[in-house]
Amino acid sequence: MTVSPPLHIIIINLFGAPWSSDVRLDGQTAVITGANTGIGKETAIDLAKRGARVILACRDMEKAQTALTEIIKSSGNDNVICMKLDLSDTKSIREFATNLKLNLLINNAGVMVCPYGKTADGFEMQIGVNHFGHFLLTYLLMDLIKSSAPARIVNVSSMAHSWGAINLEDINSEKSYNKSKAYAQSKLANVLFTRSLAKRLEGTGVTTYSLHPGVVQTDLWRHLSAPERFFMKIAKPFTKDSAEGAQTTIYCAVEPSLEKESGGYYSGCAAANCSAAGKDDELAQKLWELSCKMLSLSWD
C-alpha cells in the first residue's frame, strides 16, 4: 500500500471549485503549527493579510525566522511572531502552551511515511507528531481558546485517512511497522479527534474542522520511496502548490457559513465525506481514552 492517490482523486484535486473570502481577522490571534513551510506558511500569509496576529509554532527556529521575514513582507503585517514548538516532545508542547490568547488553532504540522522512529516520549513518530502532539497541544490551550470564543480549531488531515485503521492494541506500531499504514492511521486519528472534540465543545462557541488539503507539493514528500516519487513526478501537473493547498485550511478558519458547523470533514473548500471509520463514534471514544492514557491526561 502506498500513499499515492488514485488518478480520479488527482483530477478532482486539479479542478476543484475556487473559493475566496474578504473576511477580516483584526484583533484575533492564530496559532499555526508547522508554519515555516508549505501549507502552513501560506496559511500564515493569508491570515496575516486579514489582520490577524499570527504565531508561527515551529520546531526549527532558524527556518521559522526565515519564514517570519517572508510572511511579514508578503502580508504587510508585522504582528507575526515565531515560537519554539516540537510536537515530538511533550515537554516542548507544555512550555509552548503558556500565556497565550488565541481565536484560531491550526494543527497543521506533520510527518509523512517516514522510517520507523520514536518521539522523545517513546511514541511512534507519525502517530506521535500528527496525533498525540496536537492532542496534547489542544488540551493545554483549551481554556484559552474557550475564553476567546468564538474560536475555531482546524486539524489538517488527509484523504489517506480513508485507507487507515486505528490499531488500539499497537498504536505505536511496535509489533510491525508499515510507514504508509502508520501515516494513514495518524490521519484517521485527526478526523476522529475532530469529531470527538466537537461533541465536547458543544455550546462553548468553539468549533472544530478536519480537512484534506489536496495532493500538495510539499516537503512531506521527502520520505516517499523511489517508485512513489516517480509517480508523483508524473502526476505533478495535477497537484497543487502550497498556496493552493492552503485554501481549504483557510476556508475552515474564516468562512462565515461554518460558524454553526462543527466536527465535519472538508475538501476543496467544501464539506466532504470521510470514511466510515472516520464516522465511528465508538472508535473515536476509544481513541480519545487511549490518547488520554498515553499522555497521562484527564480530559472528559
Is the per-residue pLDDT at 99 higher than 80? no
Predicted confidence (pLDDT) per residue in 224-257, tens digit: 666 766 655 666 666 778 999 999 999 999 999 9
Residue 251's pLDDT is 98
Q: Model confidence at 218, in pLDDT bands (50, 70, 90)?
A: low
Relative to beta strand 104-107, strand 29-33 is parallel
Residue 11's pLDDT is 42
Nearest one of 114, 181, 159, 113 to 5, comparing CA atoms: 159
Predicted confidence (pLDDT) per residue in 251-300, tens digit: 999 999 999 999 999 999 999 999 999 999 999 999 999 999 999 999 98
Residue range 178-188: mean pLDDT, rounded? 97
Predicted confidence (pLDDT) per residue in 101-159, tens digit: 799 999 999 999 899 999 999 999 999 999 999 999 999 999 999 999 999 999 999 99
CB atoms under 10 Å from CB of 290, counted, come to 16
Residue 2's pLDDT is 39
Residue 98's pLDDT is 86
Is the per-residue pLDDT at 7 higher than 50? no
Please spell the DSSP secondary structure of 66-89, one letter per residue: HHHHHHHHHHS---EEEEE--TT-
**CA gap 132, 295 in Å, rounded:** 8
Q: Model confidence at 223, in pLDDT bands (50, 70, 90)?
A: low
Phi, then psi, of 46 in degrees rounded to 5? -65, -50
Beta-bridged to residue 155, according to DSSP, are: 107, 210
**CA gap 289, 50 in Å, rounded:** 38
Beta-bridged to residue 156, according to DSSP, are: 211
Give me the catalytic one of 183, 209, 265, 266. 183
Residue 222's pLDDT is 58
Residue 17's pLDDT is 57
Q: Which domains does the chain have, with CATH numbers?
A: 25-295 (3.40.50.720)
Residue range 182-200: mean pLDDT, rounded? 98
Residue 239's pLDDT is 74
Residue range 6-26: mean pLDDT, rounded? 65
CA distances from residue 167 to 3, 125, 134, 173 in whole angstroms, order as listed: 18, 15, 19, 8
Is the per-residue pLDDT at 216 higher than 50? yes
Q: Model confidence at 19, in pLDDT bands (50, 70, 90)?
A: confident
Predicted confidence (pLDDT) per residue in 30-84, tens digit: 999 999 999 999 999 999 999 999 999 999 999 999 999 999 999 999 999 999 9
Residue 8's pLDDT is 39
**CA gap 38, 55 in Å, rounded:** 16
- DSSP structural state of residue 258: G
Is the per-residue pLDDT at 3 higher than 50? no
**Can you say how many angstroms the Cα of residue 175 is from the centroid of all Cα atoms in its chain?**
27
Q: Which segments of 182-271 are extended strands (E)? A: 206-212, 264-267
Q: Decide if 183 is catalytic.
A: yes
**Cβ-count burial 216-247 (b if 16+ within 10 Å, e if not):** bebebbebbeeebeebbeebeebbbebbbbbb
